[in-house]
Amino acid sequence: MVFDLRRYSVHDGPGIRTAVFLKGCPLHCSWCHNPESQWPEPQLLVRDHRCLHCGACIAACPRAALHWEGARVATDPARCEVCGACADACPAEARAVVGRSMRVTEILREIERDLPFFDQSGGGVTVTGGEPLAQPQFTSALLSACRERQLHTVLDTSGYAPTEVAVALGGLADLVLFDLKHPDDERHREGTGVGNALILHNLRRLLAAGVDVLVRIPLVPGYNDGAAELQRAAALIGALEPVPRVELLPFHAAAEEKHRRFGLPYRHAGARPQQRSALDVCRDHFARAGVTAVVGG
Ligand code: SF4
Ligand code: SF4
């Protein structure tokens, strides 16, 4: 179940990459940039600001799930079967179904179009999400197929999965981007819906297995970007064997708009990206713990 296939990505590993975004995630991070990635089934996306108020979607719906609510078309979720007929009928692309079932062979066909860019830039394929470890057979088949074609592969994961899955799939990738959201179990649960014990266990197991791991920390204002939290994260990472590299990801405000489009509550309204000087301070906490950290994009 794929929700996006992005070509020319430069934020999901080295070089120019084809990023395959799998739908479905066991975490529910309150700042998630891709809230449409969390639910494992297809979803109807509505962009009210594009609506021309023509009523074509209402006429097209076979389930009578749509009706006028003032000047707005409202969807009855109890009736909607996410068939996509309203999206097909809409002349303004105000409606879309997010998420479709794809085969590995289909994805490889898309990837093959980008081969010249990989060669020139040192790029490759990134399997991300959502959570790629939540679709282990598909992720394994895709990573293996890329490896057979000698393509550089990145697995981007929250690390929240059965340990045998994390270790097996991590071993199929050239690089694992491993998210660490918060060093404290309870605060991790508050922000993501799950604790961090399994995640840290899997991180240790991947490092022990010799997998190349880059730990990525999304900096969320007021949640994990304070001095105390960063010092704890730095101490925790500095005690790992071997000590992995770290990338600090500045906050992005774009998530607010995406949550609004999906009608989802958003806890970080008004939060802004950290200033450059603040990011330097964040990085210094890691340097003092003997951890090499860079600020990412
Ligand atoms: S996705 Fe299908 S069932 Fe749902 S509102 Fe659109 S047309 Fe109706
Ligand atoms: S078909 Fe599209 S533009 Fe027309 S009313 Fe429905 S959502 Fe709006």
Q: Which pLDDT score, from 0 to 100, does residue 254 have? A: 86
Q: Which domain holds residue 281?
A: 2-39+100-295
Q: Which pLDDT score, from 0 to 100, does residue 11 have? A: 86
Distance of CA 226 to the CA centre of its chain: 23
Give me the CATH number covering residue 119. Answer: 3.20.20.70
Nearest-atom number in ligand 1 for the CA of 44 is 1
What the block records as the tokens of 130 is: 């959502």
- Same domain as 156, residue 59: no
Say if ligand 1 is within 6 A of residue 146 CB. no
Instruction: Tell me how many domains the chain contains.
Output: 2
Give me the CATH number covering residue 74. Answer: 3.30.70.20
Please report, in tens digits, the pLDDT of each residue of the chain (297 residues total). 999 999 999 989 999 999 999 999 999 999 998 898 999 999 998 988 999 999 999 999 999 999 999 999 999 999 999 999 999 999 999 999 999 999 999 999 999 999 999 999 999 999 999 999 999 999 999 999 999 999 999 999 999 999 999 999 999 999 999 999 999 999 999 999 999 999 999 999 999 999 999 999 999 999 999 999 999 999 999 999 999 999 999 998 888 888 877 778 899 999 999 999 999 999 999 999 999 999 997
Q: Where are the alpha helices (DSSP H) in 61-193?
A: 85-89, 104-112, 115-121, 136-148, 163-170, 185-192
* Cβ within 8 Å of residue 270, ≥6 positions away: none
Identify the nearest ligand to the CA of 53 by its number: 2
Say if ligand 1 is within 6 A of residue 84 CB. yes
Nearest protein CA to atom 8 of ligand 2, as residue = 51
What the block records as the tokens of 107 is: 């994805």
- Same domain as 266, residue 171: yes
- Same domain as 146, residue 10: yes
- Same domain as 154, residue 14: yes
Q: What is the pTM of this model?
A: 0.92
- Same domain as 73, residue 117: no
Say if ligand 1 is within 6 A of residue 43 CB. no
Cα–Cα distance, 221 to 275 (Å, whole number): 11
First to last CA, the chain: 27
Nearest protein CA to atom 3 of ligand 1, as residue = 80
Burial of 254 (0-12, 13-18, 19+ CB in 10 A): exposed
- H or E segment to which residue 96 belongs: strand 95-98
- Same domain as 60, residue 34: no
- Same domain as 236, residue 89: no
Say if ligand 2 is within 6 A of residue 57 CB. yes
State the pairing for strand pair 66-69/72-75: antiparallel
Bridge partners for 127 per DSSP: 20, 155
State the pairing for strand pair 95-98/43-46: antiparallel
Cα–Cα distance, 204 to 175 (Å, whole number): 15
Say if ligand 1 is within 6 A of residue 65 CB. yes
Say if ligand 2 is within 6 A of residue 80 CB. no
- Same domain as 176, residue 134: yes
Distance of CA 61 to the CA centre of its chain: 31
- Same domain as 116, residue 89: no
